[in-house]
Chain A
């Protein structure tokens, strides 16, 4: 996905920590911020799950309905 430029205001201490982490890792500040946001918003999780998800839509829905019914109390 293409990058979009934005302007945000964040706590000075947080920005300092971002810059320290970026410098230590030889990365850009924006990469550190994006990584944290992706983790917090669950985007990394979904990418990881979808990378391993090999069922088609019908198989997945069938299994999910089965799981829903079989685990109901």
Chain B
């Protein structure tokens, strides 16, 4: 099974040790699914980790190490040039939709705009994806 965890999921995974995102990272490292990322997604994770309220909780060196880990262990694919099959209300989400569609994988997110597309594409919350893995 392959899946994209967007920046909101990857960042929240290291802000809470008890939540579904953290469990998903454990499942990923244990080989329960393959994490798919792109350079645009990795850049978004880097920027989110630099957000001041996040930076208060995560040291820059640890943030860099986290991004290195994801880049090294995840499956990094080129960002698709094709447009997304469905547009998000926030156009800045579109690259994630295009990526998920191009790779035919689940997109796991905490973003309400993206989750609103869940009736047309396999876009789900961290908790819902965790439930699938544990089923």
Q: Which residues of A contact B (CB under 8 A)?
A: 41-43, 45-46, 48-53, 55-68, 70-73
The residue of chain A having its C-beta at the shortest distance from the C-beta of B25 within the complex is A46
A50/B22 in contact, CB under 8 A: yes
A contacts with B: majority SS: helix
Q: How far is the CB of A42 from chain B (nearest CB, A)?
A: 4
Contact with A along B1-31 (1 / 0, CB 8 A): 0000011111111111111111001000100
The residue of chain B having its C-beta at the shortest distance from the C-beta of A50 within the complex is B17
Q: A49-B58, A59-B16, A72-B92 are in contact. Are A65 and B8 (CB under 8 A)?
A: yes
Q: Which residues of B contact A (CB under 8 A)?
A: 6-22, 25, 29, 44, 47-51, 53-54, 57-58, 62, 65-66, 69, 73, 92, 110-112, 126
| Total of A-B residue pairs, C-beta within 8 Å | 111
Chain B residue numbers with a CB within 8 Å of A73 are 47
A42/B66 in contact, CB under 8 A: yes
A53/B51 in contact, CB under 8 A: no
CA distance A42 to B64 in the complex (A): 12
CA distance A59 to B12 in the complex (A): 9
Chain B residue numbers with a CB within 8 Å of A62 are 110
CA distance A59 to B8 in the complex (A): 12
13 additional contacts (CB under 8 A) given A53-B16, A65-B110, A66-B51: A41-B29, A42-B29, A42-B73, A43-B29, A45-B66, A55-B57, A56-B16, A60-B12, A60-B15, A61-B126, A62-B110, A65-B8, A67-B11
Chain A residue numbers with a CB within 8 Å of B69 are 41-42, 45
